[in-house]
Amino acid sequence: MLDLTHTAPKPRVIAGAKHDWELVIGMEIHAQVSSNAKLFSGASTSFGAEPNSNVAFVDAAMPGMLPVINEFCVEQAVRTGLGLKAQIHLASAFDRKNYFYPDLPQGYQISQLYHPIVGEGEVLVELSPGVARLVRIERIHLEQDAGKSIHDMDPNLSFVDFNRTGVALMEIVSRPDIRGPEEAAAYVTKLRQILRYLGTCDGNMQNGNLRADVNVSVCRPGQYEKYQATQDFSHLGTRCEIKNMNSMRFIQLAIDFEARRQIAILEDGGSIVQETRLYDPDRNETRSMRSKEEAHDYRYFPDPDLLPLEIEQAWVDHIAATMPELPDAKKARFMSDFGLTDYDANVLTADLESAGFFEAVAKGRDGKQAANWVINELFGRLNKEGRAIVDSPVSSVQLGGILDLIASGEISGKMAKDLFEIIWTEGGNPAEVAAARGMKQVTDTGAIEQAVDEIIAANPEQVEKAKANPKLAGWFVGQVIKATGGMANPATVNALVAAKLGL
Amino acid sequence: MAIDIDTARKVAKLARIRVDEADLPKLAGQLSGILGFMEQLNEVDVTGVEPMTSVTPMRLKRRADVVTDGNQQAAVLKNAPDAREGFFAVPKVVE
C-alpha cells in the first residue's frame, strides 16, 4: 500500500590529515511518556509546579513505600512499539540500576535491562525525496526519570526538586545505523513526529521531555559494510557517548566535534577510550565525564518489589486497532488523494494539527490549491506573527469558504488574498464579508463586453499593434480590468479581448 | 565464588559504607561464605523450568492513570537535614 522505495544516503565522510573517515552513530532517546500520573506513584507529572509538590512518598523513597505500576504508561509504551513496527514482549520485567546521586532518592532507578517491553523495530528517516535511511530500533524500555538539581541558587549548595522523580520515560535505543550529523537530527525529528502523532510523548525538547544520548565512533571506509554483513562490532571504532542532548542543532555540532576529536587522536597514533562525555555549547566541545564514569557499576538486579509485567495479546490487539494514521501513511495518502508534491506533503504532515487543518480545507475541494493556500498564505502569515496553527485566526472552515468563492468564480485570486487579510484581522463568514464589501468579480459578459468595446474604440493604434503582435493583447486585458475596478474575471476578459481583436 | 579484599573494598565504596581497611579481610570472608552457601543452588538442574516469582499465582498490580497523591511539600521535606525555598538543599554537586 505504501510506496516506501528509497535509496540509502551516502555516509558523512570527514577527511583527516592522513585519510578519509566515516561516522557511525547510535542513539538512545529518552522520551517522557505523556500521562497524568507517574510510572509507579499517583503524583502528577505536570511541568512547572512548585518544587517538591508533585511528590508522593513512593517518589521520595520513604521507607516501606511500594511502587504500583501505572497501566496507562504501559499502554503508551506498547503503542509506541506498535508505531515503530516493533515486537511487543508480552512478558517483561523491571530491574534496579543502582547508583547514588542527589536527584535519585531511592538510590536506584527502576528500569528494564534484561527484559524490555518492546523489542526490535524500525524508523524510516527521509532525507530528501526518495532518499531515506532505515534506522533499526533495538529495544524500548520503561524506566523512571530522575529529579532535577539546580546549581546556581547558592554558592555552596545544590537545590533538588523531586517533581520529575519517577515520571515514566521510554528509552528508545537505536542500532548504530545513523551515518552523519544531519541524519542524526533527521532521525530525532522523525521519531519525535511519530511520538507526537501517537500521543505518547509531547516531544517538548526545551522542557527536557525528549533528550538524546548520542554514541559516536569513526571508522575507515569499508569497515561499516563489514559490520552490517556480520553484525560484529569489532569492525567498528570505539565509541564515546555524549549525554543528555536536547537541541537538534547541538546534536549535530556535538557529533561533528566528537568525530573530529576522535580522528585527530587516531591519526596521531592514539586510541579512543570508551567513555561518557558532555557537550558544552558555549565552547562547542565535548568533555569527559570520567569522574562519574568510575562510579558507574550499576549492579543491576531484578526489582524484588515488582512482579514481572505480563500483558495479554488481546490487549495489544486492542491498542493496535485504535492506532492513529502515522506520518508515512498520511504523507502517501496526501500525495495520492490530493495530488500533492513530496515537498508539500512533508510540510503538511509535519504535525497532526497542520495535517488536520489542511485536510479540513482540502476535503471536497481542489487539493493542490488548498495546499498552496495553507502553506503559502496561512503558514506564511502564521510564521510572520510567530503563531501556531492551533492559534490561527482563520479557521479551516473560513479558509475553505474563501476557496469556494474562488472556485465558483465569484472572486478573483487577488480579491481572495484581500479577503483572507480581512478575515484574518476581523473574522467573519467569507461569503458574507465579500458581499458586504462588494468584492465580486464581474463574470457577466455583457458588462465586460461593453468595457472591451469602449477601450478598443478609444485606442485604434493599440489595436493595430496588437493585431501585428498578439502578445500586446495583454495591454487591453489590463485596461479592461482597470476600467471595471478590478472586478472583471481575468479569464473572461482574456477570451473577449482575443475574440474582439480577431486574434 | 570467592570475594577478595579488593572486591570487598569496591562493594563497600559503591554502597557508600565506610569500612576500615583492617576489617576488609573479615568482610571478604563473610561475603564469600554467603555466596558459597547460595551457590549450592546451582546443583539443582532447572533446565526448562519457568522462573517462579511468587508462591501464589499473582498478577502485577496495576493503577489507573489518575493523580491521587502529592501536594505535601512540607511532609516530603520534613526529614531533610536542610531544605530551602521548597527544595532539598544538599552539598554542591559539580558536574
A55, A65, A162, A290, best to mutate vs chain B, most B CBs in 10 Å: A55
Cα–Cα–Cα angle for A323, A328, A331, rounded to 5 degrees: 110
The answer to whether B16 contacts A150, with C-beta atoms less than 8 Å apart, is: no
Report CB contact under 8 Å: A56, B70: yes
Please name which of A439, A458, A456, A447 lies closest in space to residue A484, comparing C-alpha atoms: A447
Cα B77 to Cα A60: distance, rounded to the nearest angstrom: 9
* Domain residue spans of chain A: 22-320, 321-436, 445-501
Contact B60 A310 (CB under 8 A): yes
Minimal Cα distance from B13: which residue of A?
Answer: A295
Mutate to test the interface with A, among B50, B62, B63, B82 (most CBs of A within 10 A): B63
Residue ranges of A 17-46 with Cβ closer than 8 A to chain B: 35-37, 41-44
Residues of chain B found within 8 Å of residue A155, distances taken between Cβ atoms: 92
Query: In the 3-class helix/strand/coil scheme, how is A375-387 assigned residue by residue?
Result: HHHHHHHHHHHCC
When CB atoms are compared, the residue of B69, B82, B87 closest to A52 is B87
Residues of B in contact with A50 (CB under 8 A): 73, 86
Q: Please give the pLDDT value at position A489.
A: 76
B14 near A CB under 8 A: yes
The CB-side HSE value for A14 (13 A sphere, CA atoms) comes to: 23
Question: What is the Cα–Cα distance from A148 to A489, expressed in whole angstroms?
Answer: 64
What nine digits make up the cell of A76?
Answer: 503508551
Q: Which chain B residues are Cβ-neighbours of A308 within 8 angstroms?
A: 53, 60
- Nearest CB to A53 within list B14, B70, B94: B70
> What separation, in Å, do the N-terminal and C-terminal C-alpha atoms of chain A show?
50
In chain B, which residue's Cα lies nearest the Cα of A45?
Answer: B67
The least confident of A337-341, A374-378, B38-42, B48-52 is B48-52
Q: Which residue of A96, A108, A158, A310 to mutate against B (max B Cβ within 10 Å)?
A: A158
Nearest chain B residue to A280 by CA distance is B95
What's the CA angle centered on A162, arms A40 and A62, to 5 degrees? Answer: 60
Task: Judge: B62–A162 Cβ closer than 8 Å, yes or no.
Answer: no
Other Cβ atoms within 10 Å of B25 Cβ, number: 12
**B18 touches A: beta carbon within 8 Å:** no
Grid coordinates given for B74: 512540607
Of A60, A98, A309, which is closest to B76 when you measure between CB atoms? A60
Q: Nearest-CA neighbor of A60 among A152, A144, A139, A119?
A: A144
Query: A371 CA to chain B: closest CA distance, Å?
Result: 39
Look at B66 and A37 and tell me if their CB atoms are within 8 Å: yes
Confidence at residue A363, expressed as pLDDT on a 0 to 100 scale:
94
Contact (CB<8Å) A310/B90:
no
Q: Determine the straight-line distance between the first and last CA of chain B, rounded to whole angstroms.
A: 37
Q: Name the grid cell of A128.
A: 530528501
Tell me if chain A has a CB within 8 Å of the CB of B58: yes
pLDDT at B48 over 60: yes
Distance from CA of B55 to the nearest CA of A (A): 12
Which pLDDT does position A491 carry in this prediction? 78
Model confidence at B61, pLDDT cuts 50, 70, 90, reads: very high
- Cβ–Cβ below 8 Å for B87 and A160: yes
Give A289's contacts in chain B (Cβ within 8 Å).
95
Here the ipTM equals 0.90
CA-based nearest residue in chain B for residue A51: B86
Q: What is the mean pLDDT of each run of 10 residues along chain A (503 residues)?
A: 74 94 98 98 96 97 96 98 98 95 94 98 94 97 96 93 98 98 97 98 95 97 95 95 94 97 96 92 88 71 95 98 96 95 95 96 95 96 94 96 92 90 94 87 75 85 83 84 77 81 77
Q: How far is CA A68 from CA A38, A46, A62, in A?
A: 10, 19, 15
Fold classification of A445-501 is Arc Repressor Mutant, subunit A (1.10.10)
Cβ of residue A156 closer than 8 Å to a chain B Cβ: yes
Interface test with B, best of A157, A167, A290 (most B CBs within 10 A): A157
Residues belonging to chain A: 503
Cβ-based burial of B20 (10 A; exposed 0-12, middle 13-18, buried ≥19): exposed
Q: Is B5 on the interface with A (CB under 8 A)?
A: no
What local confidence, expressed as pLDDT, does residue A327 receive? 96
Count of CB pairs separated by less than 8 Å, A with B: 134
| Per-residue pLDDT, A1 | 41
B76, B78, B85: which to substitute to probe chain A, counting the most A Cβ within 10 Å? B76
